Structure 1
Amino acid sequence: MPAGASAYDFYLQVQQLDPGNTQAAAGIQILVMQLVERARDALRQRSFGEVNSLLNRADEIAPGNPLSKEVRDQLQREQTRARQDVTLDGPGAQTVTLPVKELGARSDTMVEMLNAIAQRIREHQLRVVIVARSDAEGRWIYSQLRQAVPGYRVRGDIKLGNPPRLLLQKNP
């Protein structure tokens, strides 16, 4: 940055004048290494969007760079892990959207879905926040979860909101 007056632009100009210039190639590699290092720092902070942005810039400068590929692979693993992680609260809570039409009809499909979720709640000892459009809807969802796991106390809260969904969280 800025475009046309960055170190990268100057290295490119040198390479155009002297295609075999090793200092220009080394300078570009240093820029890529700096971007990849910044991407690693962002990955440690779980700033996945920033990681992607930095790696995209590194790929523009040096397509196929193995350092960039290594961090991109780590990013994919961390994103997968983040989707599987269930945290106590906040943006890391796992959200399960409930289909409005099925929920409104209290269909067999909805009951089956809630049964499967209840099994997961019991297996991982999760807490659930039920976000429902009405108190009655929230109580129905809770009753379905409770009936699916007899003898297990489903812990959670009901909150009014839209769209209807379940937030699955680790018990403290």
Structure 2
Amino acid sequence: MLKVSPRQAKNSALVVLMLAQLLVVAAGFSNKAAAQPSATSALPESDQRRLRYYLLQGQQAVAAQRLLWPKDDNAYQWFQQALALDSQHPQAHQGMRQIGQAYVALAQEAYIEGDRVKAELMLERAQQVSVSPAEAAAIKQRYPAPKAANNEFTLPPHDLSQQNAQVKAQLTELALRAKTLSSRLLIVARSDREGRWIYKYMRESVAGYRLRGNIQLGSVPKIVLIDMPLSAAADG
């Protein structure tokens, strides 16, 4: 059974509350869009009707969490069309801020769940819309990366995706260390295919030695030398 700490429960509740607040705002927005006049009163009646339609569609998309996708029916697209008619329209700009804050909420939820890759992707999307780099950096600081144990060795995601010389050298070194210490491995990979490639390359690095290990899926790729003595880990 998955155990949830009081802190995790509290953080999850905060994320749920934030999402609920966004949906409440979105639910009441359609009435405001009809009641509040555009800042550009010179717009022809036909453009004003289009503007109200774009705002309503945008808020419905926010409520349904269609923030940047699908391509032809997302909140960002609808608010962009509204701003094309009236670049200063306050409700359209508020809609853009809602999208950014929705992505912030998703990022915080991912941080709490330990999925840092997803969290940083959500923050990137938030910055595409309305969140400033300073705001994104402040959120990242609230969720510092947990310190790896001495027997855990993270693998650079980009190098691993490229299967380049740098990550191959790191895997060779870890395979040799595992052989020297007679240690089992835990390979944490982003996909089963990636995990199998890591194991295959490490095994080939110590040809003739039976390298024992398991593969586990996770968002942060790393190698854990399960049987590494603390003294060996401290010596590096």
> What is the TM-score when the length of structure 2 is the normalising length?
0.39
Which residue, out of 81, 88, 94, partners 1:26?
Answer: 94
Change (3 A) 1:98 1:34: closer
Which residue, out of 39, 44, 55, partners 2:112?
Answer: 44
Structure 1 residue ranges without an equivalent (≥5): 88-92, 104-129, 140-157
Q: Which has the higher contact order (CA 8 A, sep 6+)?
A: 1
Aligned-partner SS, 2:132: coil
Change (3 A) 1:31 1:42: same
Aligned-partner SS, 1:131: helix
Shift of 1:66: 4.8
Distance (whole Å) between structure 1 residues aligned to residue 115 and residue 224 of structure 2:
25
Partner residue, 1:120: none
Contact preservation (8 Å) 2:97, 2:131: no
Aligned-partner SS, 2:72: coil
Change (3 A) 1:10 1:59: same
Identity of aligned residues (%): 17
Distance (whole Å) between structure 1 residues aligned to residue 94 and residue 229 of structure 2:
48
Partner residue, 1:54: 122
Q: Which runs of structure 2 are paired with 1:20-169 in the superposition (5 Å)?
A: 20-62=88-130, 64=132, 66-75=134-143, 78-79=144-145, 82=146, 84-86=147-149, 94-95=152-153, 100=173, 131-132=178-179, 137-138=180-181, 158-159=183-184, 160-161=210-211, 166-167=225-226
Shift of 1:98: 8.1
Contact preservation (8 Å) 2:101, 2:131: no
> What is the TM-score when the length of structure 1 is the normalising length?
0.51
Distance (whole Å) between structure 1 residues aligned to residue 133 and residue 93 of structure 2:
13
Contact preservation (8 Å) 2:103, 2:122: yes
Distance (whole Å) between structure 2 residues aligned to residue 165 and residue 28 of structure 1:
43
CA RMSD between the two structures: 3.4
Instruction: Give per-residue Cα distances to partners, 1:123-171, cap 9 Å, x unaligned.
Output: xxxxxxx621xxxx336xxxxxxxxxxxxxxxxxx33428x9845688x
